[in-house]
């Protein structure tokens, strides 16, 4: 996506050059590393599914549909294969299907391509991967809202839900991102997701259990495997449960997940520099629970950041720039990578139209950061408070400006690794 900007290289760059950037120090945030070793994942999947009693609900020859989402879940290929192998062990005939609402450009091919990118292939799994955007209506809420389900999954004898439980980026409730959302929106595909999102996210926290009840009462879901990740994108907990236990267990798992998520230990910043954003990092490109910048007006973060500068997109986001609209300044490099066909279907479905908006952009990383700082109001310009992170999923080692060093030194969860030094830009004015 190329945009013309003949004057920017001269005018904006000149404006940026007047800004002196403070020295930055590398620090380590002491976050909980405990997790399940990767080599133990298949065993843990088997043990959890066996413990739950789900195997008793898989009969010989029964077809079993297994969900797989689009959120870049850690170890998703190994976890999905573990479920496949468990189903086979109990005589079932498994297949995997994309359960990701409107992601992947809202096409079956696009959704299957996302799974392939995660290593979730027929060759690796040893079972079919069935992708379709066709759905069946399986019921309706008391208010008359139709509820939909992936056609392949609906035709199967049984369904096992698998999803990561975590704080959502646009609503609050006892059920946020997780099993019920996978059942309601993931399995609902584009048609179901659009129906549920038509009135925005405000009521979604209340609606998820209402619609989820319809799904579980009118479908063949036999159970679920809930996943939790720590601040380092590592699987730290798995819990399997039969269908009737989902409503009771998921809120408790969500509480645990919120305790384990990453954070930035500084609540008031002038500028937050984010090296990269992407759908593989967060549904909003950069997690608002980390940045404090939410796309919806009815959630206010406790972190106050005046300006956010975003420098690039991840490779795995495939040009999806959802979340860029939450930034204040970005780079031409990022803008040129945007794929609107990949981005817009998901945005339209969500009804939150601000998330893909393109902010002011500059030719270089340096100018981007300088403009973000120059345009801050009511700050100590000689001692600006700046934090730089790789992305909202990598928060252990970050950079902080000299003005934040004293506060960092008093925090028992922060270790100063290096003394403050100048930014290391290359000849083109970029950080890499």
Query: Quick check: 5 pLDDT over 60?
Result: no
Distance CA 110, CA 104 (A): 4
Q: How many CB atoms are located within 10 Å of the residue 59 CB? A: 12
The pLDDT score that the predictor gives to residue 200 is 62
- Considering the entire predicted model, what is its pTM? 0.79
Structure tokens at 420: 């403050």
Torsion of CA 124, 125, 127, 129, to 10 degrees: -90
Query: Quick check: 184 pLDDT over 80?
Result: yes
The pLDDT tens digits for 35-55 are 999 999 999 999 999 999 999
Query: Quick check: 18 pLDDT over 70?
Result: yes
Which residues face 307 on adjacent strands?
Answer: 271
Distance CA 400, CA 269 (A): 10
Ramachandran angles phi, psi of 96, nearest 5°: -110, 145
Segments in 90-203 forming alpha helices (H):
108-117, 122-125, 151-155, 179-181, 189-197
Q: Tell me the mean pLDDT in the region 322-343.
A: 95
Q: Tell me the mean pLDDT in the region 144-157.
A: 94
Query: Quick check: 252 pLDDT over 50?
Result: yes
Give the model's confidence band at 283: pLDDT under 50 very low, under 70 low, under 90 confident, else very high: confident
Distance CA 255, CA 231 (A): 15
Q: Across all residues in the chain, what is the average pLDDT?
A: 91
Distance CA 277, CA 174 (A): 27
Query: Quick check: 4 pLDDT over 60?
Result: no
Where b means 16+ CB within 10 Å and e means fewer, 386-397 reads bbbbbbbbbbee
Give the model's confidence band at 7: pLDDT under 50 very low, under 70 low, under 90 confident, else very high: very low
Query: Quick check: 336 pLDDT over 90?
Result: yes
- Strands, E, within 312-410: which ranges? 329-331, 360-362, 386-389, 397-401
Asked whether 123 and 131 are in contact (CB, 8 A), the reply is no
Give the model's confidence band at 427: pLDDT under 50 very low, under 70 low, under 90 confident, else very high: very high
Distance CA 14, CA 189 (A): 48
Query: Quick check: 238 pLDDT over 50?
Result: yes
Structure tokens at 394: 């990598």
Per the listing, tokens 């290593």 go with 119
Asked whether 178 and 163 are in contact (CB, 8 A), the reply is yes
Segments in 131-245 forming alpha helices (H):
151-155, 179-181, 189-197, 204-217
The pLDDT score that the predictor gives to residue 2 is 54
């Amino acid at each position: 996506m190329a945009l013309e900007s003949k004057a920017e290289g001269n005018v904006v760059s000149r404006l940026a050059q007047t800004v002196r950037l403070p020295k930055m120090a590398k620090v380590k945030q002491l976050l909980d590393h405990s997790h399940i070793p990767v080599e133990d994942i298949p065993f843990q999947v088997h043990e959890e599914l066996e413990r739950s009693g789900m195997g008793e609900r898989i009969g010989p020859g029964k077809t079993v549909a297994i969900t797989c989402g689009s959120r870049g879940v850690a170890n998703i290929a190994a976890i999905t294969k573990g479920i496949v192998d468990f189903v086979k062990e109990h005589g079932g005939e498994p297949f995997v299907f994309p359960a990701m609402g409107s992601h992947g450009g809202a096409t079956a091919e696009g959704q299957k391509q996302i799974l392939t990118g995660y290593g979730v292939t027929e060759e690796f799994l040893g079972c079919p991967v069935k992708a379709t955007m066709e759905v069946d209506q399986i019921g309706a809420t008391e208010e008359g809202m139709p509820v939909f389900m992936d056609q392949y999954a609906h035709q199967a004898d049984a369904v096992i839900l698998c999803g990561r439980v975590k704080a959502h980026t646009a609503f609050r409730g006892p059920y946020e991102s997780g099993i019920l959302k996978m059942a309601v929106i993931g399995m609902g595909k584009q048609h179901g997701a659009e129906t549920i999102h038509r009135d925005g996210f405000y009521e979604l926290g209340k609606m998820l259990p209402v619609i989820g009840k319809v799904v579980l009462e009118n479908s063949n879901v036999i159970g679920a495997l809930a996943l939790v990740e720590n601040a380092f994108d590592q699987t730290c907990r798995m819990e399997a449960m039969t269908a009737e236990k989902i409503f009771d267990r998921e809120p408790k798992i969500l509480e645990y997940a919120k305790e384990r998520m990453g954070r930035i230990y500084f609540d008031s910043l002038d500028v937050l520099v984010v090296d990269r954003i992407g759908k593989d990092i967060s549904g909003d490109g950069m997690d608002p629970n980390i940045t404090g910048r939410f796309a919806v007006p009815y959630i206010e973060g406790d972190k106050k950041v005046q300006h956010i500068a975003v420098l690039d997109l991840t490779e795995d986001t495939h040009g999806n720039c959802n979340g860029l609209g939450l930034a204040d300044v970005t780079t031409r490099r990022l803008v040129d990578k945007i794929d609107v066909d990949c981005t817009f279907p998901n945005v339209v479905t969500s009804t939150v139209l601000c998330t893909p908006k393109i902010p002011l952009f500059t030719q270089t990383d340096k100018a981007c950061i300088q403009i973000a700082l120059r345009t801050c109001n009511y700050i100590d310009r000689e001692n600006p408070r700046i934090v730089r992170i790789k992305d909202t999923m990598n928060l252990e080692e970050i950079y902080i400006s000299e003005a934040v060093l004293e506060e960092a030194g008093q925090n028992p969860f922060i270790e100063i690794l290096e003394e403050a030094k100048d930014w290391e830009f290359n000849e083109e004015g970029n950080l890499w």
